Structure 1
Amino acid sequence: LADPGKLPNGQTTIPFEFPLKPSNPKLSLFETYHGVFVNVQYMISVDMERGLFAKNQRETIPFMVINPGPVDANPTPKPVSFVLEPKKLKNVKGRALDRLPSFWIEGKVDSVICSIAEPLTGVIRVEHCDTRIQMIELQLVRVEFCVAAEGVAKEATEIQNIQIVDGDVCRGM
Structure 2
Amino acid sequence: MLVTIYGKNGEKYGEFPAPAPIRIGRIIDNIPSKDIPFKSDIDISKTLEELKTKFQVNAESILMLDDDEEFLTSSKFWLQKLGHYVEAYSNADQAFMQISNYPNRYHRILIDQNMPGINGASFAQSIEALSHNFKIYILTANVESVPSSFTQKYPVVKKPCNMINIVGAASKNHISRERTTNY
TM-score band, normalised by shorter chain: under 0.3
Q: Which has the larger radius of gyration?
A: 1
In terms of fraction of residues, the more strand-rich structure is 1
- State the TM-score, normalizing by the size of structure 2: 0.23
- State the TM-score, normalizing by the size of structure 1: 0.24
In terms of fraction of residues, the more helix-rich structure is 2
